């Protein structure tokens, strides 16, 4: 798009230079057209620069989001491992509690027999 606009600007400038020897009545509108075209090209360049900056910012934000997602995935994995360990520890505590209750019952039976 910019290349087309620059070519058009150059064409207008050449036409203006070629027409410089013609009447002053033609020179005014050609100069006006050239100025308008130059302004349009500047706006297009500014827009292009703005879009390039936005694209860069978007890429940086996307990279950061990807990095953060990786951290979330890592922490989620760690959390899941801790949950598994906690469940295993709870199972061991429950088993130890049952064994202790069994030993207390057995110990109570032994004490009863000794008293008899």
pLDDT tens column, 72-86: 999 999 999 999 999
Q: How many domains does the chain have?
A: 1
Asked whether residue 104 is domain-assigned, the answer is no
Domain containing 25: what range? 2-86
Label residue 62 exposed, middle or buried (CB < 10 Å: 0-12, 13-18, 19+).
exposed
Asked whether residue 59 is domain-assigned, the answer is yes
Predicted TM-score of the model (pTM)? 0.52
Asked whether residue 98 is domain-assigned, the answer is no
Asked whether residue 109 is domain-assigned, the answer is no
Confidence of residue 43 (pLDDT cuts 50, 70, 90): very high
Q: What SS3 state is found at 23? A: coil
Q: What SS3 state is found at 104? A: helix
Least reliable range by pLDDT among 24-28, 35-39, 74-78, 102-106: 24-28
> Residue 22 — left, alpha, or beta (φ > 0 → left; ψ -120 to 50 → alpha)?
beta
Asked whether residue 96 is domain-assigned, the answer is no
The count of residues in the chain is 116
Asked whether residue 79 is domain-assigned, the answer is yes
Q: What SS3 state is found at 22? A: coil
């Amino acid at each position: 798009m910019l290349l087309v606009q620059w070519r058009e600007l150059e064409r207008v400038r050449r036409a203006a230079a070629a027409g410089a020897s013609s009447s002053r009545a033609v020179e005014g509108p050609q100069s006006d057209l050239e100025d308008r075209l130059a302004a349009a090209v500047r706006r297009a360049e500014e827009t292009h620069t703005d879009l390039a900056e936005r694209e860069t910012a978007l890429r940086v934000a996307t990279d950061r989001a990807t990095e953060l997602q990786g951290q979330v995935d890592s922490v989620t994995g760690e959390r899941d491992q801790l949950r598994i360990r906690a469940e295993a520890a709870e199972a061991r505590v429950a088993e130890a509690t049952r064994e202790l209750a069994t030993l207390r019952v057995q110990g109570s039976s032994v004490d009863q027999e000794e008293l008899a």
